[in-house]
Structures are given as C-alpha cells and as structure tokens.
C-alpha cells in the first residue's frame, strides 16, 4: 500500500514553496479546504490509466514557430517604467548580498 | 431599446444612416454610468478611447469607405486582456497600478475592425472563480436578480451585454468562464477551439486551457466577433494556422439531419428539475428542426472536476510565480530593511486574494515530488481519456449537447465557505475545456424562479461553424429571445 501523499499537506510548507506568507488563521482555513478538496480529487485514483500517456495540451503536436526575428514592440524604457522601483534602466530589489 | 440591439441590427441601422456610432456609443456609456454602481460590471471605462473610435467610424461612413466588420459596435473587454494605455488588473490588487504598455492581439484586431472599446470588465481575480465575487475590487451582480451572481469568471463581460452596456464583449474561458456566465445572464457565449484565437496579451491562468472568446445578445453577433479576433498570431505559438471560415455564414443554415448527441451523464441527480425541463424542451426544439437526437455516454464526466482542478491549479501556481513585486505590480516592504524573500512574500500576501492563494497552494501541492505522480501526472492521463472519449463520440454525431450549468445562477455568497461546491458547479463545461473543443452557450429558457438557463453545444476541433449553425437554428425557435433583464 502506497503512503497517501496527502500526508505531506502543510499549508505553511506549501506557502514557503510558493513564496506566499499566510497568517495563522489563513493557514488553518486553507488547511481544511485543501484536505476537503484533495479528498475529492482522490476520485482520480479509481480510473485505470494503465498504458495511457499523459496529455499536457490539447494542441495536436504542432506549435507553429515564427521566424527568429527580434521584435521591439515595447521599449525597454516602457517596461522598466512599470517597475515599483527602478534606477538607471534597471529593476531595483532589496540587497541580496551583505 | 437601442442598447439591446444585436450586432447585426446595430450595423444595419448604421448602414442605413438611422444612427451614428457616436450616438450609439454615448448611449452605451450613459447606461454604464447609470447602472455600473449597482451591477459592478466594469472596472474601468475607456470613454475617450470609445468616443474617438466612434467618431472615426462615423467619418469612414461619411466618406463612403467600405464598412469594417464591427464599425461603431460598442464592445467590452475582460480585464484579463491588455488594452494599450488602459489599466489591466485581472481584478487583482497585485496589478492595481498596471497600465498595459502593449496590446492583446485580439484587442488590436477589434480596433482594426472598427469596434468601439467601452471599457474593461470585472472578473474573478485572475479568472479564478465561477461567480465574479472573487474580484479584489467589488463583486459583479446579475441584472436579472442582483442578489445572484452573474457567474464567472467573465461575469462583467456577460453583464455588460445582458444589461445593454455593450453590444458584445470579449471574455476568456479556462473551464467555462464564458459559457457559464452566458447561461446565467441570458446571453450567448462562444468559446472557440484551443488554438483558434491568440492569447498574446491575455493574463495567463492555466495555459493549456485558456482561450479567448465572445459574448453577444445573439449567436450571429458572437460569431462575428469571434471571426474578427480568430486566426494565427506569430506572437502566440499555440495559435493555429487553420483557416478561419466566415462563422456568421453558418447562421440561418438548415440543420435538418444533423446528429445531436445528448450527454446522458449530464442528466443525473445534480441537475435541477427546472434545468432538466428546460433542457428537455431544447431537445424537442432540436428534433422539431429536423435534427436526429440520440443519447450518448461520457463516463469520464465523473472525473472532469477533479482532473481540471488538479491541472488548472498546477499551471496557475507556475504562471502566478511571476508576480513578485520586482518588475511590475504591487511591491510591499514589510520593514525598511526587509530581505528580497520577505518583500516577495509580503507583496504576494497583500496582492493576492483568498481564492488565488488557495489555488496556488493546491497547485503547489500537486506539483510536489510526493504528489506529482498521484495527482498531476494522473490528471494528465485522465485528461487524455476525457479527450479521447469526446472525440470518439464526435465521430458519430455532429455536436454534443448538455445543460451549460446544473442550476440557475446561485446567490451571492452561496459558496463562501465551501470552495469545492463552487468547483462542482463547473462540471458540464469542463470536458470541452480539457479536450480543447469549441463550445457555445445559448439561452434555452427560464428557471422556475424566472432566471436564464443555457444550452451548451460542443463541436469537433475547429468546427465552430457547426456549433454556430446549431446554436443559431435553436435560438431562432427558442422562446427565450423576447426576454430581457428586469430593470
């Protein structure tokens, strides 16, 4: 018998993986929601998928590629202007090296 | 009732010189001004842009230029689509200050066809929801009964059309986000085949499922808008090179001898009695039109909700990782000396609403090493089973039909404490999404409580033409057309 992977559901752990911060209240209520939703999703285990290949996209294989020509429809300045903080045409983030 | 004209009626009056695009646009804007506080359909109104486009349409007509396909038609745009120079928030706080520096291909194509873009419509945050209550700004309400949701996630676009604030609208549909709100608001909603329409400029939710589509008051209008926006776009590698037929030409075509398959599993216990009665009435109408109606079976319908919510949340958790407070969107520094990680966590905490966080957590879980095979990979395999079953059925019939939703529009707040109940309400729209098939919702009648119900018509890949043909034929004999939202 395989171990139930749901045993590993911890909202705090998942939040850390997802770059989210949760309050204690949120962690509690999301934990309950995830338990219920994942219990419902265990319905999938009843389907016999032996020999079935995963389907990642309904596109039947061909994704048409365009010519490898650079397009500059949006200027770098317009993109950087959207940043919450920028300087000299670059994004500014909190210091990451001491 | 000028505002409730169909696209075709409006274009006819413009062509005859009985109205100007400016007068029509002012009327639409006036209706938005009068009703948006009560209905919450629009997050932004692009008044100057709209009036400039209307004046250009009038000048073109005065010069005798060949009329463009949507010249002078007021159209609303879901706020998940970038419209250059206008706010694009996807109804999230994280994008509260985002003004698009580029434009979605579908929006550019509407402009080129002479459309008048009146504003950006409300939605569930990042399209995650089935009620348009999960907007970070304000909930959208159903004009038929403002204690009810309009459905979602494209609820604002549906309400804009239902309440005469726009003649047509664009929405996006990941698991039913065009079809279900169309059904709940008595409008027509058309989700095309995956790949039929470019997603360049659409805020991504679940990339293997998202499609842009149209709303209108009738099938012909929805078909015309889709025709304008469809077709290959070099900016979107998933957009197909399949030629785009004149979908509108399918309206009015005979449907005799077309084979209609009824999804037997959609008639189970979860279907409300009045929705069942309406659906059975629709089947009689289709038989009356000379179609051959037969029962078919889609056993995998039972697994559609679980499959969809595993895959869509996994893709969402990945797509939404881009909102980090660095390049665009809201940045929150919890303390002046916060680290990069603390800044990202605080920005996402304050930027995302509860439903978005719930789905990111769920999607993160199904992608963890311990759950990947049992949930994510398993759901991808079941997705293939769903698609293969649908394609096998569509080898024997021309279209498949079911109710669009199991019930009439639910009450605002009905699923506040039970997200799973909201997910389950998507059951009938999910199979076409998982398989990437074109699907239309057309009004089929009213519930016992006087609210609209929809008939869903699903077709073969890239066969929107047959879906539109059946939808238009049904619409012409349906008793629904005389109905309008209560004031």
Whether B89 is in a domain gets the answer yes
- Do B309 and A41 make contact, defined as CB atoms within 8 angstroms? yes
Tell me what the mean pLDDT of segment B285-304 comes to.
97
- Do A14 and B346 make contact, defined as CB atoms within 8 angstroms? no
Q: Average model confidence (pLDDT) for chain B? A: 95
Whether B43 is in a domain gets the answer yes
Tell me what the mean pLDDT of segment B224-234 comes to.
96
Which residues of chain B have a CB within 8 Å of the CB of A37?
A: 309, 362, 419-420, 423
3-class DSSP state of B391:
helix
User: pLDDT tens digits, residue range B419-473?
Assistant: 888 888 899 999 999 999 999 999 999 999 999 999 999 999 999 999 999 999 9
Which residues of chain A have a CB within 8 Å of the CB of B329?
A: 84
- Do B352 and A20 make contact, defined as CB atoms within 8 angstroms? yes
Q: What confidence category does residue B483 fall into, taking pLDDT thresholds of 50, 70 and 90?
A: low
Active site residue B177: yes
Q: What is the pTM (predicted TM-score) of this model?
A: 0.96
**Domain tally, chain B:** 1
3-class DSSP state of B276:
helix
**Tokens, residue B237:** 């590698």
Does B42 contact chain A (CB < 8 Å)? no
Q: Which of residues 149-208 of B touch A (CB under 8 A)?
A: 194-195, 208
- Do A20 and B380 make contact, defined as CB atoms within 8 angstroms? no
Q: Which of A11, A20, A97 to mutate to test the interface with B (most CBs of B within 10 A)?
A: A20
- Do A83 and B195 make contact, defined as CB atoms within 8 angstroms? no
CA distance B159 to B152: 10
User: pLDDT tens digits, residue range B346-397?
Assistant: 999 999 999 999 999 999 999 999 999 999 999 999 999 999 999 999 999 9
Q: What confidence category does residue A72 fall into, taking pLDDT thresholds of 50, 70 and 90?
A: confident
User: In the prediction, which pLDDT does A91 show?
Assistant: 96
3-class DSSP state of A30:
helix
Long-range contacts of B135-141 (CB under 8 A, 24+ apart): B135/B40, B135/B43, B135/B91, B136/B89, B136/B91, B136/B92, B136/B93, B136/B96, B136/B353, B137/B43, B137/B89, B137/B91, B138/B40, B139/B40, B139/B412, B140/B39, B140/B40, B140/B41, B141/B38, B141/B39, B141/B40, B141/B412
Q: Which of B84, B199, B324, B374 to mutate to test the interface with A (most CBs of A within 10 A)?
A: B374
Whether B323 is in a domain gets the answer no
Q: What is the CATH number of the domain that holds B67?
A: 3.90.1300.10
Q: Given a cut of 90, is residue A65 above it in pLDDT?
A: no
Q: What confidence category does residue B177 fall into, taking pLDDT thresholds of 50, 70 and 90?
A: very high
- Are B104 and B141 in contact by the 8 Å Cβ rule? The answer is no
Q: Given a cut of 90, is residue B314 above it in pLDDT?
A: yes
Q: Average model confidence (pLDDT) for chain A? A: 87
Instruction: Give the rounded percent of residues in chain B with a pLDDT score beyond 70.
Output: 98
DSSP B230: B
Q: What confidence category does residue B123 fall into, taking pLDDT thresholds of 50, 70 and 90?
A: very high
Whether B215 is in a domain gets the answer yes
- Which residues constitute the domain of residue B237? 2-251
User: In the prediction, which pLDDT does B269 show?
Assistant: 84
| Helices B304-319 and B354-366, axial angle in degrees (round to 10) | 100
Instruction: Give the rounded percent of residues in chain A with a pLDDT score beyond 90.
Output: 63
Closest CA to B198 of B79, B107, B83: B107
Whether B19 is in a domain gets the answer yes
- Are B443 and B406 in contact by the 8 Å Cβ rule? The answer is no
- Do A18 and B327 make contact, defined as CB atoms within 8 angstroms? no
Which residues of chain A have a CB within 8 Å of the CB of B173?
A: none
User: In the prediction, which pLDDT does B212 show?
Assistant: 98
Closest CA to B119 of B50, B54, B183, B222: B50
| Helices B304-319 and B378-396, axial angle in degrees (round to 10) | 120
Whether B88 is in a domain gets the answer yes
Q: Which of B358, B370, B423 sits opposite A30 (nearest CB)?
A: B358
Tell me what the mean pLDDT of segment B317-345 comes to.
96
Tell me what the mean pLDDT of segment A8-19 comes to.
90
Q: Which of residues 51-80 of B touch A (CB under 8 A)?
A: none
Q: Which of B303, B344, B368 sits opposite A47 (nearest CB)?
A: B303
User: In the prediction, which pLDDT does A13 show?
Assistant: 93
Instruction: Identify any residues that bridge with B261 across adjacent strands, giving them in sequence order.
Output: B294, B400
Whether B287 is in a domain gets the answer no
User: In the prediction, which pLDDT does B425 show?
Assistant: 87
User: In the prediction, which pLDDT does B58 show?
Assistant: 97
Does B435 contact chain A (CB < 8 Å)? yes
User: In the prediction, which pLDDT does A6 show?
Assistant: 59
User: In the prediction, which pLDDT does A97 show?
Assistant: 80
User: In the prediction, which pLDDT does B3 show?
Assistant: 41
User: pLDDT tens digits, residue range A19-57?
Assistant: 999 988 999 999 999 999 999 999 999 999 999 999 999
CA distance B151 to B158: 9
Q: Given a cut of 90, is residue A63 above it in pLDDT?
A: no
A-B C-beta contacts closer than 8 Å: 179
Q: Given a cut of 50, is residue B233 above it in pLDDT?
A: yes
Query: Which of B57-61, B70-74, B268-272 is the least confident region?
Result: B268-272
User: In the prediction, which pLDDT does B1 show?
Assistant: 33
Whether B324 is in a domain gets the answer no
DSSP B188: E
Query: Which of A69-73, B53-57, B148-152, B284-288 is the least confident region?
Result: A69-73
Residues near A73 by beta carbon (within 8 Å), at least 6 away in sequence: B102
Count the alpha carbons within 13 Å of B370 in the hemisphere toward its beta carbon.
11
Distance from CA of A88 to the nearest CA of B (A): 14
Q: What confidence category does residue B4 fall into, taking pLDDT thresholds of 50, 70 and 90?
A: confident
């Amino acid at each position: 018998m395989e171990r139930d992977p749901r045993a590993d559901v911890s909202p705090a752990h998942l939040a850390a993986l997802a770059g989210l911060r949760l309050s204690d209240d949120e962690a509690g209520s999301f934990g309950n929601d995830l338990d219920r939703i994942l219990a419902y999703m265990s319905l999938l285990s009843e389907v016999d998928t032996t020999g079935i290949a995963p389907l990642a996209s309904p596109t039947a294989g061909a994704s048409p590629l365009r010519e490898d020509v650079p397009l500059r429809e949006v200027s770098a300045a317009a993109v950087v202007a959207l940043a919450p903080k920028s300087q000299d045409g670059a994004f500014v983030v909190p210091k990451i090296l001491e | 009732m000028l505002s409730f004209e169909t696209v075709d009626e409006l274009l006819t009056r413009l062509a005859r010189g009985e109205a100007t695009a400016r007068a029509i646009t002012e009327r639409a804007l006036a209706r938005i001004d009068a009703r948006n506080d009560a209905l919450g359909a629009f997050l932004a109104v692009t008044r100057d842009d709209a009036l400039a486009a209307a004046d250009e349409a009038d000048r073109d007509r005065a010069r005798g230029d060949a009329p463009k396909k949507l010249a002078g038609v007021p159209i609303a745009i879901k706020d998940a689509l970038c419209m250059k120079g206008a706010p694009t928030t996807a109804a999230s706080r994280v994008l509260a200050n985002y003004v698009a520096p580029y434009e979605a291909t579908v929006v550019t194509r509407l402009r080129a066809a002479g459309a008048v873009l009146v504003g950006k419509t409300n939605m569930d945050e990042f399209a995650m929801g089935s009620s348009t209550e999960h907007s970070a700004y304000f909930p959208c309400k159903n004009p038929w009964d403002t204690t009810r949701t309009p459905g979602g996630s494209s609820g604002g676009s549906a309400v804009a059309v239902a309440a005469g604030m726009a003649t047509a609208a664009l929405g996006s549909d990941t698991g039913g986000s065009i079809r279900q709100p169309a059904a709940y608001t008595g409008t027509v909603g058309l989700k095309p085949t995956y790949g039929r329409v470019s997603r360049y400029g659409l805020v991504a939710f679940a990339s293997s499922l998202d499609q842009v589509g149209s709303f209108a008051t009738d099938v012909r209008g929805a078909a015309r808008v889709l025709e304008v926006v469809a077709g290959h776009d070099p900016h979107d590698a998933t957009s197909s090179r399949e030629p785009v037929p004149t979908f509108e030409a399918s309206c009015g075509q005979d449907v005799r001898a077309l084979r209609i398959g009824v999804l037997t599993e959609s008639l189970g216990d979860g279907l409300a009695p009045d929705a069942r009665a309406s659906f059975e009435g629709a089947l009689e109408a289709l038989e009356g039109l000379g179609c051959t109606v037969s029962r078919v079976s889609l056993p995998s319908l039972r697994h559609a909700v679980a499959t969809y919510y595993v895959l869509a949340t996994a893709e969402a958790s990945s797509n939404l990782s881009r909102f980090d407070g660095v390049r665009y969107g809201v940045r929150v520094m919890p303390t002046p000396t916060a680290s990069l990680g603390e800044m990202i966590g605080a920005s996402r905490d304050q930027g995302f609403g509860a439903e978005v966080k719930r789905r990111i957590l769920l999607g993160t879980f199904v992608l963890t090493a311990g759950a990947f095979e049992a949930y994510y990979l398993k759901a991808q395999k079941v997705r293939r089973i769903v698609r293969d079953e649908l394609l096998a059925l569509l080898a024997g019939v021309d279209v498949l039909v079911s109710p669009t939703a199991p019930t009439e529009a639910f009450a605002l707040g009905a699923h506040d404490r039970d997200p799973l109940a909201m997910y389950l309400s998507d059951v009938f729209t999910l199979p076409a999404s998982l398989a990437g098939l074109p699907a239309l919702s057309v009004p089929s009648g009213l519930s016992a409580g006087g609210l609209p119900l929809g008939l869903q018509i699903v077709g073969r890949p890239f066969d929107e033409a047959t879906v539109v043909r059946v939808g238009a034929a049904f619409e012409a004999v349906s008793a629904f057309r005389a109905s309008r939202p209560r004031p």
